[in-house]
């Protein structure tokens, strides 16, 4: 379906925001986005979000780190075999420490990369579909659809008495 | 909607215009910080001989400072991560200023091995790169563990500080853009907020990311000071070669970390008028945590000395006697006084957990913890097992200048940070207020005192 445009409504209260999102979801709108000044689980539930996949990135990154830690230490010891302090060539107990630290390092970096990919950051170029009030207390709901469908969306959003309702370009 | 916004004004004050007091403070601390770089420069030009370290005491002030500053870095990330993971509600105003301590203390702590190297440009021998003959670093060496652990902790802590900062930078961006979209501040915040919009999707990922980072940063913080302690205990030196050293150092690190947190929070509260955020309840709660760590640290110190005394091994007893009744007795007992007696006497009573009292106790504990590290480092090295190299250690002005300068560096970094980012996490406090309002409207109780 070709998206013709979008509608952006700002609300003052959480329950009207949640009701608007539920109404839009029920009417079958695919692209519904919400803006909040802080994390709000009622809205995430209304949008039908499940566990965030960021944790999978952390796990995969961490396991990559473990493997890298052992691979690096073992390979470099074999690359130039040199006995130090009478320890075996492959000193696993000592290498566990390096592997452990790299697990955390890669896990942390993967978490950030995953988070940025999933939340489409950074995106510095200004977008029309935003209101500076969203960062200081208002809630926003954005919906995309064709012209006829947007009329229906407008009706649903108006039912909850938004502070402001305006048309915006579909972005992304 | 969130509640009273006038409460937030003290947070925005240093971020919206230049404040003469902060500029003066930065200039003063900058001058103190310059002492570090001047002394270090002098040492690089005239070689490491200008420092007081000599046979057999090869580790002096530099390694003491290294352990001290790395210890302080455990304030932030560890305390903030534990409070976040356990979702303690009173954490909200504390986390940001604690996380900033971590990053800055780590940057300074990480400098000391370089200073101690004497030839800092040879630093790359430690990082996993082969030298010109294709020889790799020895991964069985505690020094290589150190750099891996501290590097990981530094990167992790920076991410852990910056991640919850992102929405606050967006708040500042919107605020400055509303005032004047072309101002330099508006441009800078537009750039560093990375285009955060606060969509439910972004919050969803951010919360999950913060939680994941908080969980993985706790073990790495514990590992960092354990590995620092292994720099000592992997040797065979008397009173270093001890299995208790790992947890003993970690406890000491958290203990000195809380002390710095107490002092910093008190100064922020007084200097920036943050009484409504860093209120008496926060100080009371952290004071209790402080007291708990006083007792744990006291217990570890006692256990460490008891086993040495009971074992009665001659070379260990030589170091032990020197501590209890010899050359180091005076500073040893000062340490016991500052780290155990005073904190227990003051913090055990609710009246003793007032902000200014906890800050004073904090200063005492910092001095005590620095002494502890000094006794461990120098006390053992001046009495090695082979007694034909017995020696003593006297710091020079270079080492003293670097020590004083390091405090200036820390204060400078902190003052600059206060002028760039809100020192209390605005969105997290708003979220807390919002939850509280929901509870009140649901139960229709009168509004309780917000904390």
- CATH number (domain holding residue A142): 3.30.70.120
8 Å CB contact of B128 and A72: yes
As a whole number of angstroms, the distance between CA A112 and CA B385 comes to 49
* CA-to-CA dists, residue B247 to B225, B227, B242, angstroms: 8, 10, 11
- Pair (A60, A96) in one structural domain: yes
For an interface test with B, which of A20, A33, A38, A130 has the most B Cβ atoms less than 10 Å from its Cβ? A38
**Confidence band of B446 (pLDDT split at 50, 70, 90):** very low
- Pair (A65, A99) in one structural domain: yes
- Pair (A62, A104) in one structural domain: yes
Q: How close does chain A come to B158, measured CA to CA in Å?
A: 11
- Pair (A16, A66) in one structural domain: no
- Pair (A41, A12) in one structural domain: yes
Q: How many domains does chain B have?
A: 1
- Point out the domain boundary residue: A77, A99, A118: A118
The overall average pLDDT reported for chain A is 87
The length of chain B in residues reads 451
- Pair (A46, A63) in one structural domain: no
Asked whether residue A63 is assigned to any structural domain, the reply reads yes
8 Å CB contact of A79 and B134: yes
**Domain containing residue A140:** 5-51+128-168
- Pair (A62, A35) in one structural domain: no
Asked whether residue A11 is assigned to any structural domain, the reply reads yes
Asked whether residue B178 is assigned to any structural domain, the reply reads yes
Q: Which residues of B touch A40 (CB under 8 A)?
A: 200, 203
Residue B102 pLDDT > 50:
yes
8 Å CB contact of B195 and A125: yes
Asked whether residue A123 is assigned to any structural domain, the reply reads no
Residue A1 pLDDT > 60:
no
- Pair (A95, A40) in one structural domain: no
Q: Judge whether B380 and B322 are in contact, CB under 8 Å.
A: no
Query: What pTM did the predictor assign?
Result: 0.92
ipTM above 0.95, yes or no: no
Asked whether residue B227 is assigned to any structural domain, the reply reads yes
Asked whether residue B81 is assigned to any structural domain, the reply reads yes
H helical segments located in A3-144: 14-26, 41-46, 54-79, 92-118
Write down the pLDDT at residue B7.
Answer: 81
* C-alpha neighbours within 13 Å on the C-beta side of residue B240: 24
For an interface test with A, which of B208, B213, B236, B246 has the most A Cβ atoms less than 10 Å from its Cβ? B208
* Model pLDDT for residues A66-100, shown as the tens digit of each residue: 999 999 999 999 988 889 888 999 999 999 999 99
As a whole number of angstroms, the distance between CA B102 and CA B421 comes to 16
Asked whether residue B438 is assigned to any structural domain, the reply reads no
Q: Is A119 on the interface with B (CB under 8 A)?
A: yes
- Pair (A59, A98) in one structural domain: yes
Q: How many domains does chain A have?
A: 2
Asked whether residue B1 is assigned to any structural domain, the reply reads no
Asked whether residue A87 is assigned to any structural domain, the reply reads yes
Asked whether residue B445 is assigned to any structural domain, the reply reads no
Write down the pLDDT at residue A128.
Answer: 67
**Domain containing residue B223:** 6-433
Chain centre distance of CA B186? 31
Residue B390 pLDDT > 90:
no
- Pair (A70, A97) in one structural domain: yes
CATH number of the structural domain spanning residue B302: 1.20.1630.10
**Confidence band of B450 (pLDDT split at 50, 70, 90):** very low
């Amino acid at each position: 379906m070709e998206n013709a445009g979008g509608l952006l409504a700002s609300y003052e209260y959480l329950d009207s925001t949640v009701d608007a999102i539920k109404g839009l979801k029920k009417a079958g709108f695919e692209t519904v986005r919400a803006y909040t000044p802080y994390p709000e689980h009622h809205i995430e539930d209304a949008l039908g979000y499940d566990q965030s996949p960021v944790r999978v990135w952390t796990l995969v990154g961490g396991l990559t780190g473990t493997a890298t830690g052992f691979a690096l230490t073992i390979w470099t010891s074999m690359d130039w075999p040199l006995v130090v302090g009478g320890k075996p060539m492959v000193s696993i107990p000592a290498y566990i420490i390096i592997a452990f630290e790299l697990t955390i390092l890669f896990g942390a970096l993967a978490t950030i990369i995953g988070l940025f990919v999933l939340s489409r950051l950074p995106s510095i170029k200004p977008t029309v579909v935003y209101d500076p009030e969203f960062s200081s207390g208002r809630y926003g709901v954005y919906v995309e659809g064709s012209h006829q469908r947007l009329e229906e969306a407008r009706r649903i959003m108006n039912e909850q008495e938004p502070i402001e309702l305006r048309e915006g370009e579909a972005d992304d | 909607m969130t509640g009273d916004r006038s409460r937030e004004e003290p947070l925005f004050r240093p971020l919206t215009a230049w404040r003469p007091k902060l500029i003066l403070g930065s200039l003063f601390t900058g001058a103190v910080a310059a002492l570090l770089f001047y002394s270090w420069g002098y040492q690089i030009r005239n070689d490491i001989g200008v420092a007081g370290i000599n046979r057999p005491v090869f580790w002096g002030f530099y390694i003491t400072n290294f352990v001290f500053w790395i210890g302080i870095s455990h304030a932030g990330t560890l305390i903030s991560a534990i409070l976040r993971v356990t979702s303690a509600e009173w954490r909200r105003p504390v986390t940001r200023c604690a996380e900033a301590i971590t990053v800055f203390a780590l940057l300074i702590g990480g400098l000391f091995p370089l200073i101690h190297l004497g030839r800092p440009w040879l630093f790359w021998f430690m990082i996993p790169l082969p030298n010109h003959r294709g020889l790799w670093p020895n991964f069985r060496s505690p020094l290589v563990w150190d750099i891996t652990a501290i590097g990981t902790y530094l990167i992790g802590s920076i991410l852990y500080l910056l991640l919850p900062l992102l929405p606050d930078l967006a708040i500042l961006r919107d605020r400055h853009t509303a005032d004047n979209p072309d101002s330099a501040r508006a441009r800078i915040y537009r750039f560093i907020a990375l285009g955060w919009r606060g969509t439910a999707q972004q919050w969803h990922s951010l919360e999950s990311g913060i939680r994941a980072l908080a969980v993985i940063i706790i073990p790495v913080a514990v590992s960092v000071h354990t590995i620092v302690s292994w720099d000592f205990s992997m040797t065979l030196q008397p009173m270093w070669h001890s299995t208790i050293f790992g947890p003993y150092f970690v406890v000491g690190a958290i203990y000195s970390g809380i002390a710095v947190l107490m002092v910093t929070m008190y100064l922020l509260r007084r200097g920036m008028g943050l009484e409504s955020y860093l209120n008496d309840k926060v100080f009371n709660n952290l004071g209790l945590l402080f007291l708990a760590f006083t007792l744990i640290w006291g217990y570890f110190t006692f256990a460490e000395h008891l086993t040495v005394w009971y074992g009665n091994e001659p070379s260990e007893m030589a170091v032990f006697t020197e501590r209890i009744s010899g050359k180091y007795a005076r500073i040893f007992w000062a340490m016991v006084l500052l780290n155990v007696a005073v904190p227990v006497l003051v913090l055990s009573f609710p009246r003793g957990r007032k902000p200014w009292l906890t800050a004073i106790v904090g200063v005492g504990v910092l001095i005590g913890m620095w002494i502890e590290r000094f006794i461990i480092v120098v006390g053992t090295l001046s009495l090695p097992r082979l007694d034909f190299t017995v020696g003593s250690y006297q710091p020079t002005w270079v080492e003293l200048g670097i020590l004083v300068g390091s405090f200036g560096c820390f204060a400078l970094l902190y003052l600059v940070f206060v002028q760039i980012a809100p020192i209390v996490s605005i969105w997290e406090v708003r979220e807390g207020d919002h939850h509280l309002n929901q509870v009140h409207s649901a139960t229709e109780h009168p509004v309780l005192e917000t904390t």
